[in-house]
Structure 1
């Protein structure tokens, strides 16, 4: 069975994923899929040609928008930069998997995997896929109790490894050399209420601790155990470091505090930094009031040069600048508060923050608000084009693109069922 050609109407029957990065995607259903595909003559059509290919979240799944074309990715999971998407579908008692190049719109041949599997995470380079029998978001969901977790490692050619990992684990990311798999190990396995990050040696299938920042292994018993909400994950532009924002962490102690015996600070949010090459982890604490408000009022964006990471809590109006080299908070500022889910995008001079029916432009030199722009409808996502000349704003059933300097709308396309924007696909 071959996937439909890229430049063809797709009536793909697919039965919400949050971006970040890595949520279980269920099938799009009925009208939503037909509207996304753009094949139903009664469905709304785009009012303008999209200048860039976009990877988006629609009701129940992922979709690729290119020009006037719409391509569906059933049960899809994407690379963190949105370039590649792995989609899957039941094939009798087995699972068919194929890879979509979101920028070009092309799809690989389908590969048949024995048994029923759900794509869980993709390597940063897009060549490896980890699948589980129960898809669970690495940042948003808690798995059901279990003592053993089946994991399948595959690529465009088929199965590479089948693992039976002890305990209750959720694949999060591959190491850069593809020899290891970072997982969240949930504890206790039969009634999970907290988790720790471990790395599985894919040659042996044996899980072990990470390293601390000086590259020494974490001593037994000193691994961080986390509770609370993982809000968003951002991959560094050079694909070496994964940053994940966590909020609401009662009774949490960082590894560095457990090793030193210090009690640690009373923080409610931090950025978990995972080095995919060197396999170490480090947490950057965020000051009060981060983490005390709603998790979805927080958002994070990294500059294209990779040097600065910005975290915003629009519920309190707080913004923090983190040096990705020093892994410290360098500056903070407080702006007017915003209501509803927050979204962020950044270039090297500006930070764009969206919440409610407005987008703010923040000047990074002074960390001050340069403009406050109403957009008419609640924002569901913000993405900058690769050249920085267009700011895409997700809304209820459409995506609009603006001039980032003036805020003037340059175009708009109807996208029925749109829930969020994942990224621009080069």
Structure 2
């Protein structure tokens, strides 16, 4: 299964409520969604109180938590005196592991692709939360259901983003300069040595000194490939940005938007430039989805009415297709034969092969997220304090449940 997450927490796709930081209480069981109304597909959603798991008529909120990218697991924490209690929830069953105690106060930031490990820091700064405060050193804890596995004391200003596929490394954002950050680069920390280093290029050669990409723009959204080996992140507003390949070759660069491709298994990165007018308008008007087979990335800019069709094998834009323009924050979800786009109160269904419109639907309130059921028959639509679900073929609303404080949709809960 593929889940869309907001950048840059895959891993994430993600991060939960680190910004709620280190105060609060045990995870709370909220009121039933609505008397007699059960949501048909379990969902992980973001609410202003943290991460929430919606299953049937039940709603459980975890104030300091982060979910795995596939929606199968949640790592939650709570203060335990001067220390931190940490446990894992199986979103398929709702069962929780026994709590372990981590020495000190920690906030969860990133979960491994298979849901077995979690990276935590001492502050609420997340990979998806924008610029962190200045600092010269960053303590990081790597844990699992049995307790601490690694303690890292990184010199500089770092934020965990994702684990390598084999769990021996941790991808991080290194913010520069450390005490007054205004840009960042992606690096990988060797968990055995605790040392951060550069990624490799697409041909698997180490990036030479001085050629690591430094980014200043907006990481709009990230999606994980269905096989969990590649993380794609959409960046906008990068005037004057130079990719590693430009820095190595000496060519000028001026990309306003691109998709940063991070191979979690081979540890290489590559950027797919998006053509004009991507990146010219507001970052919120851009969205991205991946096809269920992982072969295509679809990127939309609703402000200009453009969809880019990207081959994940070739890492190139194969075509762009014009659409009607829209306003507001953009959202996207892809099924086997359709691409769903939303902006404002309009949801559009496109034929995935031709990328031409088949229908436009109106919903009650501005959309805050789209999630397609595993069988492709239902489209879940996040709105103001509610989630509705619709017949994916006709757009007819099939049901609606209140979700007070809803911020956005994380994805389907439970293992695929």
TM-score calculated relative to the size of structure 1: 0.91
Dislocated runs of 4+, deviation >2 Å: 17-25, 27-30, 44-47
Q: 1:323 aligns with which of 311, 318, 323?
A: 311
Higher relative contact order (Cα pairs below 8 Å, separated by 6+ residues): 2
The count of corresponding residues between Structure 1 and Structure 2 is 402
**Aligned-pair distance for 1:22?**
2.2
Task: Answer yes or no: is the 8 Å Cα contact 2:174–2:184 preserved in 1.
Answer: yes
1:37 to 11, 16, 30: 30
Q: Is 1:397 aligned to residue 385 of structure 2?
A: yes
- Equivalent residue, structure 1, for 2:81: 92
Contact 1:401 1:412 in 2 (8 A): yes
Structure 1 residue 47 displacement after superposition: 5.6
Deviates more, 1:330-339 or 1:305-314: 330-339
User: How large is the Cα RMSD of the aligned pairs?
Assistant: 1.8
Q: CA deviation at 1:319?
A: 0.9
Alignment partner, residue 279 of structure 1: 267
Q: Which residue of 1 aligns with 2:20?
A: 26
1:281-360 equivalent positions in 2, closer than 5 A: 281-360=269-348
Unaligned 5+ segments in structure 2 are 1-5
- Note if contact 1:27-1:60 (Cα within 8 Å) is conserved in structure 2: no
Secondary structure at the residue paired with 2:247?
helix
Consecutive unaligned residues in structure 1, runs of 5 or more: 1-16
Residue aligned with 2:240, SS: coil
Of the candidates 144, 148, 154, which is equivalent to residue 137 of structure 2? 148
Matched, 1:245 2:234: yes
Give CA-to-partner distance per residue, 1:225-245, whole Å, 9 cap, x none.
Answer: 111111111000000000011
Q: Secondary structure at the match of 1:184?
A: strand
Per-residue CA deviations over 1:288-330 (Å, capped at 9, x if unaligned) read 1111111111111101100001111112211111111110001
Contact 1:290 1:313 in 2 (8 A): yes
Counterpart residue number, 1:13: none
Are the equivalent residues in 1 in contact too, given 2:21–2:123 (CA < 8 A)?
no
Match of 2:3 in 1: none
Alpha-carbon distance between aligned partners in 2 of 1:245 and 1:174, rounded to the nearest angstrom: 19
Aligned residues of 2:126 and 2:160 also touching (Cα < 8 A): no
Separation in 2, partners of 1:29, 1:414: 26
Q: Secondary structure at the match of 2:153?
A: strand
**Which of 330, 347, 365 is residue 377 of structure 1 equivalent to?**
365
For the residues of structure 1 that align with 2:266 and 2:124, how far apart are their CA atoms?
Answer: 27
* Contact persistence 2:13–2:67 (CA under 8 A): no
Q: Which residue does the alignment assign to 1:72?
A: 61
User: 1:28: Cα distance to partner?
Assistant: 12
- Answer yes or no: is the 8 Å Cα contact 1:273–1:282 preserved in 2: yes
Q: Distance in 1 between matches of 2:83 and 2:405?
A: 29
| Aligned position for 1:58 | 47
Separation in structure 2 between the aligned mates of residue 340 and residue 125 of structure 1, nearest angstrom: 34
TM, length-normalised to structure 2: 0.93
What SS does the aligned partner of 1:406 have? coil
